[in-house]
Amino acid sequence: MDTFKAEVESILRKQKMFFESGMTRDIKFRLNALTKLAKTIKKYEQDIYKALYKDLRKSEFESLASEISGVMDEISYIRKRLRKWARPRRCAVHINNKPASGKLYPEPYGSVLIFSAWNYPFNLCMTPFVGALAAGNCVVVKPADQAPATAEIIIKILSECFDPEHVVAVHGGSDHASCLLEHKFDYIFFTGGENYGRKVMRAAAEHLTPLTLELGGKSPCIIEPDVKLKVAAKRIVWGKFLNAGQTCVAPDYLFVHESVKKPLLDEMKKVIKAFYGDDPQQSPDYPRIINSRHFERLKQLIEARECFCGGVTDLDDLYIAPTIVDNVLRDDILMQNEIFGPILPVVTWRNFDEVIDFVNSRPKPLAMYYFSDKCKDLDRLLSRTSAGGMCVNETVTHLINPAMPFGGVGNSGMGGYHGKFSFDTFTHTKPILNKFTFIDLPLRYAPYARKLKFLRFICKY
């Protein structure tokens, strides 16, 4: 570990020198870097598919849809708008400062540390990286070691694209992550679980380093009696069992009105069969659990339960079937912590106030989903609850819109990114006041005798 610590110190010294050279502040330099990144990702596209299959058994379609396309869209979206975003812009000047002009000057932080998560190991590493790169920073990337094949291809892509004094991707597990956190970075971006997020925040506090935390939480999926059952069933099943439920914004529990629970669950059971066949284990489109530790954790949640559907497990294959657990009590263990797997507990409600009270009794979720045809209770839900983001009659897809920020609130995280919000996250907006010299009002200068009354008149209070 001493060798790694020395390596990190060397990286940061070189990045500091490179950043201070001013190279990364040049917009053309940033645009060229983004273009080269896009070309290199395209070059290694097949290798990325192979890595994601090896780590998570993802199909090529799911890998393209949920991993690669999001990164490529992010690069394209930012490239088209970067010159405008990076341009200093005028701002108003208060009367107390006149005569003067004001500007807001976007500037990069310096050296940025990015921690990725294993569940979408390519997307969740490269998407924030694109924002940090576009903002003009030097970057140290720590891919998720739990997805080693994807980490390898990320390191290969970044080492081919960038000089190490600009961008470095490093190997290693939790010890290496802890070692990185001992060093002073100018910004930290972390995606992962709440417990480790707390450790990252404590470490950042030691250096007064600003940070973004993308965490998780129990995202409710609320079903009104007037829901369109067939559409809702497809969208919920897709959002829940995408990546075998290992999605930070997956519906974590189904909160359904008692009058439509049975028809909705029956329809969802049909949809699971339509998506993955009679035996999802044989489906080429159904991924696997990341490792045996997470498999055992998930298996314990459904052992000795009568599942409405699913419940089948296979340790050798790291397979857990798409599982719905009915008749779950609100204090059940399934309702305590984020499940992060292909298990969907079902609870019912009768009065919408129950929904609001229950959601508010828990930590603020990363996402919230609401299904209703007439949306009569939507305004109440929006005004009386809080979540990182929300979909109406949809799941998950709010996070792929680059015109919207993606992030949490409270225990589910802080800060947001994607599109312009990524650029802003990795940018310090420096205010510049340019005071004119053709006049110099004496009011502010001592002595202050006989000036207080005039000052009160100007301040108007």
Domain at 269, CATH number: 3.40.309.10
172 plus 300 within the same structural domain: no
Its sign, for the CA torsion 38, 40, 46, 52, is: negative
53 plus 188 within the same structural domain: yes
Q: Which domain holds residue 192?
A: 2-215+412-430
Model pLDDT, residue 220: 98
Count of structural domains, the chain: 2
Model pLDDT, residue 454: 83
73 plus 197 within the same structural domain: yes
7 is known as an active-site residue: no
Q: Could you state, in chain order, the average pLDDT of each consecutive group of 10 residues for the chain (461 residues)? A: 89 96 98 98 98 98 97 97 97 89 97 97 98 98 97 98 96 92 97 95 97 96 97 98 97 98 98 98 98 97 93 98 96 95 98 97 97 97 97 95 94 96 98 93 88 81 63
User: Domain for residue 443, yes or no?
Assistant: no
152 plus 243 within the same structural domain: no
User: Domain for residue 451, yes or no?
Assistant: no
366 plus 305 within the same structural domain: yes
Model pLDDT, residue 441: 84
Closest of 246, 252, 213 to residue 52, by C-alpha: 246
108 plus 231 within the same structural domain: no
Model pLDDT, residue 96: 81
185 plus 302 within the same structural domain: no
pTM of the model: 0.95
Closest of 403, 433, 432 to residue 417, by C-alpha: 403
Model pLDDT, residue 461: 63
179 is known as an active-site residue: no
185 plus 324 within the same structural domain: no
Amino acid code (one letter) for 412: S
256 plus 354 within the same structural domain: yes
3-state secondary structure of 74: helix
Closest of 226, 263, 287, 243 to residue 346, by C-alpha: 263
Q: Which of 62, 67, 74, 214 is catalytic?
A: 214
65 plus 113 within the same structural domain: yes
Q: Are 363 and 388 in contact (CB under 8 A)?
A: no
27 plus 104 within the same structural domain: yes
Q: Which of 221, 248, 309, 391 is catalytic?
A: 248
**DSSP strand pairing (406-407 vs 416-417):** antiparallel
**DSSP strand pairing (319-320 vs 313-314):** antiparallel
264 plus 401 within the same structural domain: yes
